[in-house]
Amino acid sequence: GQLFQFLPMVRWYDPDHYYNNPAFRPVSAVTGQYTGHECIVCHTVENPQIVAQWRRSRHGRPGEGKEAVGCEKCHGTDHERLLMPSYNTCGECHPKQLIGHRDGGRGSHAHAYHLDLVEDGCYVEKPAGEVSACLTCHAIAENRCDGCHTRHEFSVKEARRPTSCGVCHSGPEQYEYEMYMQSYHGMIYQGEAHEWDFSQPLANKNYKAPTCAYCHMQQGEHDVRRASTAYTFMGTSLVDRGAPRYKEIREWWVKTCQGCHSSRFASDQLEAMDEAVKLSFTKYREAMAIVVDLLNDGLLDPMPQDLAPDWRGRHTFSLLPDGHNRKYNVSEIERLTYELLVDITDAIYKAKAHGAVYSPIYGYWEWAQDRWLIKIKAEASRLQRFSEIEKRLGIRHEASSFWSHGEYTDMFLGWKRKEGDVK
């Protein structure tokens, strides 16, 4: 609590722990108890779009003989104690989807925030303002349902489109959306999806080409890990997905592809993915061997002990198993090696798994791996040459103080609480 302070926005993204907790609930200027109809009367003026969305939704138009799901069902009736819905709220009426979501193992939406972001320290490694975007995707994916079918229409048609998944699954570290769009599947989707009926169930007879939800959430399955192999922290650990222990899930994927392709074609494509991933990690291992040798020889500039401590108060080398992969205030070669693994090696797996044709080789990644490995070797050579020159000249190098003490670093460590506090 002394070094990291959550921003008030966390209340909206983790409602069960914050917004719905009396200690953190926002103060309401409106008092009293209200029915759903009374809510609509006021919010038609205050927030007309959310009322229009609700009227178009299955909640507002449930069909003959069914009761509408009004505002009070999800938010309560007491305006001073309004509830922000979480997946538990939705689960009261959608138990199958709730069970699927909560049963997800490591790497699923169910663990995207508290385990992957908070407990792993990814969220507290930087000041809250800098990681607020991380919170948006990770916390909503775990704690709420409207990240995929947005409020207040909650449309399954919206959730089944790749654009819904692409809000979070895009950009550095998670290039799934870009890779899908560069595939033949994505080409067909972009050219013909306006003719598809996304209200139809996720079965091969209903869609000409697969989408994210078609492959990963077949028949509305909300445990997205059921169609995955081993958890590899977004593809940054090497796993042989063609190994015998993964035979059952590999056969499941081949069967999924057989909606349009032969089993032989599907098997060959998946084997190509396996080989590309194995090869990509040979380059990362080569880079790590170079960097670890520099660490052991004391040639990194700066060395771990020259840096401000990480969020745990340690000076452990960031790339070692006991270290913490931080993106700031590290040596150039550490940052390059981090990017080689997390941004590039990971993307090769994502590209091959999603059928991207251009990206795996020419666009970015396998050739980008070559470029990053050259940069790492060049930096290692520079450090070794500088060390040799300093030895011959009798110079004792000391790391610059800005590695351990500066406006940003001090603010993160609690020395100064606000940017611009330097006097």
Kindly state the percentage of the chain with pLDDT values over 90. Answer: 63
Question: What pTM, to 2 d.p., does this model score?
Answer: 0.89
Sign of CA dihedral 364, 370, 372, 378: negative
Q: Average per-residue pLDDT in the chain? A: 89
Question: Which residue in this structure is represented by tokens 């990971």?
Answer: 346
Question: Which residue in this structure is represented by tokens 């207040």?
Answer: 152
Q: Which of the four pLDDT bands, split at 50, 70 and 90, describes residue 362?
A: low
The tokens of 173 are what? 């570290």
Residue ranges of the domains in the chain? 156-225, 270-413
Q: What is the mean pLDDT of residues 47-67?
A: 95
Kindly state the percentage of the chain with pLDDT values over 70. Answer: 94
From residue 34, give the alpha-carbon distance in Å to each of 49, 79, 93: 20, 7, 22
Tally Cβ neighbours within 10 Å of residue 193: 17
Residue 177's pLDDT is 95
| Rounded Cα–Cα distance for residues 156 and 159 (Å) | 5
Q: Which of the four pLDDT bands, split at 50, 70 and 90, describes residue 378?
A: very high
Given a cut of 70, whether residue 366 has pLDDT beyond it is no
CATH, range 270-413: 1.20.850.10
pLDDT tens column, 381-404: 999 999 999 999 999 999 999 998
The tokens of 352 are what? 């091959």
Given a cut of 80, whether residue 326 has pLDDT beyond it is no
Residue 96 · residue 103 · CB < 8 Å: no
Instruction: Please state whether the peptide bond connecting residue 302 to the residue before it is cis, i.e. omega within 30 degrees of 0.
Output: yes
Given a cut of 70, whether residue 363 has pLDDT beyond it is no
Tell me the three-class secondary structure of the chain, residue by residue.
Answer: CCCCCCCCCHHHHCCCCCCCCCCCCCCCCCCCECCHHHHHHHHHHHCHHHHHHHHHCCCCCCCCCCCCCCHHHHHCCEHHHCCCCCHHHHHCCCHHHHHHHHCCCCCCHHHCCHHHHHHCCCCCCCCHHHCHHHHHHHHHHHHCCCCCCCCCCCCHHHHCCHHHHHCCCCCCCCCHHHHHHCCHHHHHHHHHHHHCCCCCCCCHHHCCCCCHHHHHCHHHCCCHHHHCCCCCCCCCCCCCCCCHHHHHHHHHHHHHHCCCCCHHHHHHHHHHHHHHHHHHHHHHHHHHHHHHHHHHCCCCCCCHHHCCCCCCCCCCCCCCCCCCCCCCCCCHHHHHHHHHHHHHHHHHHHHHHCCCCCHHHHHCHHHHHHHHHHHHHHHHHHHHHHHHHHHHHCCCCCCCHHHCCCHHHHHHHCCCCCCCCCC
Those residues with Cβ within 8 angstroms of residue 92's Cβ, 6 or more apart along the chain or in another chain: none
pLDDT tens column, 249-304: 999 999 999 999 999 999 999 999 999 999 999 999 999 999 999 999 999 999 99
Given a cut of 80, whether residue 157 has pLDDT beyond it is yes
| Rounded Cα–Cα distance for residues 158 and 136 (Å) | 19
From residue 115, give the alpha-carbon distance in Å to each of 204, 233, 294, 338, 383: 34, 12, 33, 21, 38
